[in-house]
């Protein structure tokens, strides 16, 4: 035993050691996978089919982390990155991979995750719905500000990578971002700003901005709107740490995003959750309607409902929809959206999703739709099985937590009958999946 331990210690690689490996797969998270003497090595900015020289960053008991030193033999799957900041900026992981191959690998990762972690095998997975636009698709973004640098976080730290424009953003966002930055540089260089959120409103082709400051300070928002030009609304929040929320201390103009989905005009405040890819959002909603397939007599519960992105399209096809959402702003927006469409069969309730589901009587809902954040909805799933709906439609942006939650639902009498991935975020590792479950 002592000799074996000594041998393992002697062969352990140090930081900076060079190894060569063939990349055979991609992970959720965007890194390539290879092997060194039988041990898995994870290497960002690689593609399946690459042979690469890698510098060791860290070696653990079961795996190695590395970074590319040289691409010895490039994969035929490789593509030329279209952004000069690729590899520095943390916003993208897969610009170096042809888009068709990105779609293929997202589908494969989704399948493998649900089958391996969730035990859903074989997964009834349908063909991925790719994005029609793989660039200029983002309609909202969060920028960071520190010591005069404006941009996104680095790929490997919270250092800020300064940028002039991002090719994944709608051109209007790039224009407004640089205009806001320039105004602050000229008129308020010492203002304690740390985060700027910008979103665009497709219906009027105008932008909205939320400014987050570490402490209070004097700022003329009307002057900012006048200088920027394409900005129709702006709000200032005191948010001590780099996160959303905080206390709103000033506002000017109209801070609502307006868009259409499933033929319906919608509005949502920028501080509430909304999809960043409006084109793919239309396909996402169509998929949910197809999977839910509600009858005119059905009662539907929409958990994590937001401002009604799914609620209102569902309401046109069934008897009633109860939308449960924790955000006060989103609930207010949802009620306004429903009232504007004269949808008296829609009820918005402000509640935590699990508490809202717990308050439902058994059999009170024929269909439950849920779209939780990245952490998933295991606590919510425990309440859903008590309600015992005939169908569940689960939207997820994290295959691992989705797999965990599906395993629980399957143990409690549900079968996965349909599944599909929708590529909402080209050139990133992010995967949006929709799964339908029916009760046995």
Q: Could you write out the three-class secondary structure of 214-271?
A: CCCCCCCHHHHHHHHCCEEEEEEEECCCCCCCCEEEEEEECCEEEEEECCEEEEEECC
Report pLDDT for 3: 46
Domain edges within the chain: 2-73, 101-133+277-439, 140-256
pTM to 2 decimal places:
0.94
CA nearest neighbour of 262 among 302, 310, 304: 310
CA nearest neighbour of 417 among 262, 280, 281, 290: 290
What is the per-residue pLDDT across 302-329, written as a single tens digit (0 to 9) for each? 999 999 999 999 999 999 999 999 999 9
CB-based contacts of 9-17 (< 8 A; 24+ apart in sequence): 11/37, 12/59, 13/56, 13/59, 13/64, 14/56, 15/56, 15/57, 15/58, 16/55, 16/56, 17/55, 17/56
Report pLDDT for 286: 98
Distance CA 59, CA 19 (A): 12
The number of C-alpha atoms within 13 Å of 39 and in the hemisphere containing its C-beta is 19
* Strand 160-162, strand 149-153: pairing: antiparallel
The residues, ordered by sequence, that sit 6+ positions from 356 with a Cβ below 8 Å of its Cβ are 301, 303, 324, 349
- What is the average pLDDT across 120-148? 96
Instruction: Enumerate the active-site residues.
Output: 397
The domain defined by 101-133+277-439 folds into Rossmann fold (3.40.50)
Report pLDDT for 26: 98
Beta bridge partners of 414: 439
Mean pLDDT score of the chain, rounded to an integer? 94
Asked whether the predicted pLDDT for residue 271 surpasses 70, the reply is yes
- What is the average pLDDT across 421-434? 98
CA distances from 104 to 77, 226, 372, 422, 432 (A): 11, 46, 25, 11, 13
Report pLDDT for 347: 97
What is the per-residue pLDDT across 151-210, written as a single tens digit (0 to 9) for each? 999 988 889 999 999 999 999 999 999 999 999 999 999 999 999 999 999 999 999 999
The percentage of residues in the chain with a pLDDT greater than 90, rounded to a whole number, is 91
Distance CA 366, CA 300 (A): 6
Report pLDDT for 8: 43
| Superfamily for domain range 2-73 | Nucleic acid-binding proteins (2.40.50.140)
Report pLDDT for 13: 87
In the sheet that 39-43 helps form, which strands lie side by side, from edge to edge?
18-22, 51-59, 63-73, 39-43, 32-36, 25-26
CA distances from 142 to 45, 210, 295, 337 (A): 23, 9, 40, 26
What is the per-residue pLDDT across 201-256, written as a single tens digit (0 to 9) for each? 999 999 999 999 998 888 999 999 999 999 999 999 999 877 667 899 999 999 99
CATH of 140-256, one of 3.30.70.890, 2.40.50.1070, 1.10.10.10, 3.40.50.11890: 2.40.50.1070
Instruction: Please indicate whether the domains covering 2-73 and 140-256 agree at the CATH topology level.
Output: yes
Report pLDDT for 106: 98
What is the per-residue pLDDT across 368-390, written as a single tens digit (0 to 9) for each? 999 999 999 999 999 999 999 99
């Amino acid at each position: 035993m002592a000799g074996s331990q000594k041998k393992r210690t002697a062969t352990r690689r140090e930081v900076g050691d060079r190894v060569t490996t063939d990349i055979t797969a991609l992970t959720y998270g965007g890194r390539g996978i290879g092997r060194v003497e039988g041990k898995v090595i994870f290497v960002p900015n690689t593609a399946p089919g690459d042979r690469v020289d890698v510098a060791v960053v860290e070696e653990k008991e079961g795996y190695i982390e590395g970074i590319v030193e040289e691409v010895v033999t490039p994969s035929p799957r490789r593509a030329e990155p279209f952004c000069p900041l690729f590899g520095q900026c943390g916003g993208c992981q897969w610009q170096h991979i042809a888009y068709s191959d990105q779609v293929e690998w997202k589908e494969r990762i989704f399948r493998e995750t649900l089958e391996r972690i969730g035990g859903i095998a074989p997964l009834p997975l349908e063909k991925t719905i790719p994005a029609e636009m793989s660039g200029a698709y983002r309609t909202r973004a969060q920028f960071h500000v520190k010591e005069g640098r404006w941009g996104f976080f680095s790929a490997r730290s919270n250092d800020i990578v300064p940028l002039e424009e991002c090719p994944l953003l709608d051109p209007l966002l790039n224009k407004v971002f640089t205009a806001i930055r320039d105004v602050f540089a000229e008129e308020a260089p010492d203002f304690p700003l740390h985060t700027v959120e910008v979103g665009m409103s497709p219906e009027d082709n105008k932008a909205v901005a939320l400014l987050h400051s570490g402490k209070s300070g004097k700022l003329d928002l009307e002057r900012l709107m006048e200088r920027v030009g394409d900005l129709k609304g702006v709000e200032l929040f005191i948010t001590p740490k780099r996160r959303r929320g905080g206390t709103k201390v000033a506002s000017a103009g109209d801070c609502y995003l307006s868009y259409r989905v499933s033929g319906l005009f919608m509005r949502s405040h920028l501080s509430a959750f909304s999809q960043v890819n409006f084109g793919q959002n239309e396909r996402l909603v169509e998929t949910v309607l197809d999977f839910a397939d509600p009858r005119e007599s059905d009662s539907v519960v929409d958990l994590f409902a937001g401002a009604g992105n799914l609620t209102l399209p569902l309401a046109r096809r069934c008897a009633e929809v109860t939308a449960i959402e924790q955000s006060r702003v989103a609930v207010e927006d949802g009620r306004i959206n429903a009232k504007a469409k004269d949808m008296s069969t829609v009820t918005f309730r402000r509640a935590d999703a699990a508490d809202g589901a717990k308050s439902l009587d058994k059999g009170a809902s024929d269909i439950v739709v849920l779209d939780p954040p990245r952490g998933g909805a295991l606590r919510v799933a425990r309440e859903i099985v008590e309600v015992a709906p005939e169908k569940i439609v689960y939207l997820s942006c994290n295959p691992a937590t989705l797999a965990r939650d599906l395993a629980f639902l399957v143990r409690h009498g549900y079968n996965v009958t349909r599944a599909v991935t929708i590529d909402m975020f080209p050139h990133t590792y992010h995967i949006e999946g929709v799964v339908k479950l029916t009760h046995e």
